[in-house]
Amino acid sequence: MKISEHCSAADCQRPAAATLAMRALCREHFVVACYKELEGATRRLHETSFSEPSAEALRHFLEECTRQVTDIAQSADDLDNLGRARLLDIVMWASELGSRLRRGPRRQARLQILLRSEKPGRPWEEEAKTQWISRHGALVECEHTVETGEILQVIQVDTGRQAEARVVWQRRRGTGGHEIGIEFTSAINFWEMDWSTTAPDQNP
């Protein structure tokens, strides 16, 4: 691809190495822009307002980003180890977000669950509510502080169904408590829903 000679970032005189969203960018600014986009996308993916059009836009960005990174990695002959590591990091992150997108639709649902941490020394249990659910997990409001990677037991209050889930993401809410993204550790249809339909969000 023929791109304009100079990076379009303010006060940057370096030659352009890639384009992102129609902007010609040098390698440094391209990497910074990718990280910024990936961080924003990671946050947005867990918001209830994340919709199909956003998913489509994100898919497009991830493809573009991955393609350009691959181009740079193949054509640049002056990349040092750190430069290569950062490009690889971006590709891995993009691939992780891509697989999250492929894990399918989410539905808004306020379901009562019981979260149980069996962490040695400080076990706890809490009644919590889901914000949305997907085939593989949920976004849950939780008062306890949890760590990414922590394993929790999830019990549906209505049915007593129980499964193990891993915390894949967490954020402190401004109003207190936390939002946590959990993912079941085994491929089960924990919510017992038909995920093959693309029905609009449900609010049971």
Q: In the bound complex, what is the minimum distance in angstroms from residue 16's beta carbon to Zn ion?
A: 8
Number of shown-chain residues binding Zn ion (CB under 5 A): 6
| Alpha-carbon span 191 to 202, nearest angstrom | 13
Q: Is residue 69 within the footprint of Zn ion (CB under 5 A)?
A: no
Q: In the bound complex, what is the minimum distance in angstroms from residue 29's beta carbon to Zn ion?
A: 4
DSSP state of 171: E
Structure tokens at 55: 């998913």
Q: In the bound complex, what is the minimum distance in angstroms from residue 76's beta carbon to Zn ion?
A: 14
Q: Is residue 12 within the footprint of Zn ion (CB under 5 A)?
A: yes
| Alpha-carbon span 139 to 72, nearest angstrom | 36
**Do strands 106-108 and 112-117 pair parallel, antiparallel, or not at all (unpaired)?**
unpaired
23-62 mask for Zn ion (x: CB under 5 A)?
Answer: ---x--x---------------------------------
Q: In the bound complex, what is the minimum distance in angstroms from residue 72's beta carbon to Zn ion?
A: 13
From 12-20, 75-83, 102-110, 193-201, span contacting Zn ion (CB under 5 A): 12-20
Q: In the bound complex, what is the minimum distance in angstroms from residue 30's beta carbon to Zn ion?
A: 8
Q: Is residue 7 within the footprint of Zn ion (CB under 5 A)?
A: yes
Q: Please enumerate in sequence order all residues whose Cβ is within 8 A of that of 135, keeping only pairs 6 or more positions apart, or say none.
A: 103, 104, 189, 191, 193, 195
Q: Which is nearer to Zn ion, 26 or 142 (CB)?
A: 26
Please, which residues bridge with residue 170 across strands?
A: 180
Helix (H) or strand (E) holding 182: strand 178-184
Q: Is residue 136 within the footprint of Zn ion (CB under 5 A)?
A: no
From 7-15, 43-51, 77-85, 162-170, span contacting Zn ion (CB under 5 A): 7-15
Please, which residues bridge with residue 156 across strands?
A: 113
Q: Give SS3 for 27.
A: helix
Which phi and psi angles does 122 have, rounded to 5°?
Answer: -145, 65
Q: In the bound complex, what is the minimum distance in angstroms from residue 64's beta carbon to Zn ion?
A: 18
| Contacting residues toward Zn ion, per CB under 5 A | 7, 9, 12, 14, 26, 29
